[in-house]
Amino acid sequence: MSKSMDQSMRDDFEFDTDDDECFFQDIDLLQTQGINVADINKLKTAGIFTIKGVQMTTRKKLGAIKGLSEAKVEKIKEAAAKLSPDSEIKTGLQVAEKRKSVFKIPTGSDQLNKLLGGGIESMAITEAFGEFRTGKTQLSHTLCVTCQLSNDCYSGGKAMFIDTENTFRPERVRQIASRFDLNEENALENVAYIRAYSSEHQYEILDKVAQKFHDKNGAFRILIIDSIMALFRVDYSGRGELADRQQKLAQFMARLQKISEEYNIAVYGTNQMTADPGASLSFQADPKKPIGGHILAHASTVRIYLKKGRGETRIAKIYDAPDLPEAEVTFAISDGGIIDAKE
């Protein structure tokens, strides 16, 4: 294939967002309220690119940005409040209207989609936890492809993949793209990848991620973190560092939730399990529990428990969700990613 033909195919597969209505209010709008460009640029260097981003940041954190005095912070806060429609109290009907912009990304399995009410939800954090080889990373790779597929209810887009355990495999994306009859090169082109090497780096990466979502308005559909806890587990060891770990984890999860709401992005994160020493005392059937404690449990909107079945089959159970009933389904792992289990 000639280079020009290949480039043409890539151009056709690019997600055009110029005609889409901007989901967020750009931080440059602060100029209309008398905030100067220099101060707006200082906010951008701190990873704040939207009006909602200003509202989601405390005065203390804004004051820690070099060059922003207490008076300037107060002026910026007042300006953001005037511009944001979210500053007013809404009715339940108005909230329902806003939630019409929420979309679901299919998982590759009709049964798993049904369990999740359609798929992985935007403006929310979906956490999948389980032992090794239960399909957490396989679902990550499948979502890299399925997020690119458009249907009657959903417009396809790109994926952002934060890799903390060196688990991302481009060849898996190729295999899954082939299953859905997508050009393999284009499918990989639409996955933005970044490797995290420490829990601190993992948090700092979110500034780059937010900037990418801002610059490519509407192009991205999902942010994947595989896995959320791995680096926190390495960097903080023993009970003496547990409080520090949980505090940093809380900050990371809060930032994730803010990004998902700011840019209408689905967030999917994987998590590991550990033995629960108190399980035998409480007569629990399963002596294992997800790591991260209450911080991760409360921060995740939807929690899915993945277990091994027979052969390549796996079991997914709704562990916690605000609007989904507790239920479980069986799915399978194939060369083409996550699929329905055979009867």
pLDDT in the model for residue 19: 43
- Check if 27-87 and 102-340 are the same fold: no
Identity of residue 92? G
Span 321-342, average pLDDT: 94
Checking if the pLDDT of 155 tops 90, the result is no
In the chain, count H helices and then E strands. Answer: 14, 13
pLDDT classification of 343: cutoffs 50, 70, 90: low
CB 105 within 8 A of CB 266: yes
Q: Which residues pair with 338 in a beta bridge?
A: 333
Domain ranges of the chain: 27-87, 102-340
pLDDT in tens, 108-131: 999 999 999 999 999 999 999 999
Residue 157 CB contacts under 8 Å (≥ 6 apart), including other chains:
15, 147, 148, 190, 218, 219, 220, 221, 222
pLDDT in tens, 80-112: 999 988 778 889 998 898 888 999 999 999 999
Q: What is the pTM of this model?
A: 0.86
Q: How far is CA 162 from CA 65, 104, 231, in A?
A: 26, 20, 12
DSSP H helical ranges for 46-189: 51-55, 59-63, 70-83, 92-98, 110-115, 136-146, 170-179, 184-189
Angstrom distance (rounded) from CA 180 to CA 206: 30
Return the structure tokens found at 238.
Answer: 């023993």
Lowest-confidence pick of 72-76, 261-265, 290-294, 301-305: 290-294
* Widest pairwise Cα distance in the chain: 67
Tokens matching residue 88 = 């007013």
Q: Return the pLDDT at 201.
A: 97
Q: Please give the CATH number for the structural domain made up of 102-340.
A: 3.40.50.300
The two tokens of residue 151 are 């249907």
Query: Position 21: which residue type?
Result: E
- State yes or no: pLDDT of 9 exceeds 80: no
- Flag the least confident range among 10-14, 162-166, 282-286, 297-301: 10-14
pLDDT of residue 1: 37
What percent of the chain shows pLDDT beyond 70?
A: 90
Nearest partner of 116 among 94, 137, 97, 143, judged by Cα: 143
Q: At 69, give phi and psi (nearest 5°).
A: -80, 170
Domain made up of 27-87: CATH architecture: Orthogonal Bundle (1.10)
Per-residue pLDDT tens over the stretch 196-241: 999 999 999 999 999 999 999 889 999 999 999 999 999 998 888 9
Confidence of residue 275 (pLDDT cuts 50, 70, 90): confident
List the structure tokens of 287: 């002596």
pLDDT at 181: 96
pLDDT above 60 for 3: no
pLDDT, average across residues 54-71: 94
- Judge residue 180's burial from the number of C-beta atoms within 10 Å of its C-beta, 0-12 exposed, 13-18 middle, 19 or more buried: middle
| 21 vs 206 pLDDT, higher one | 206
- In whole numbers, what is the pLDDT of the chain averaged over residues? 89
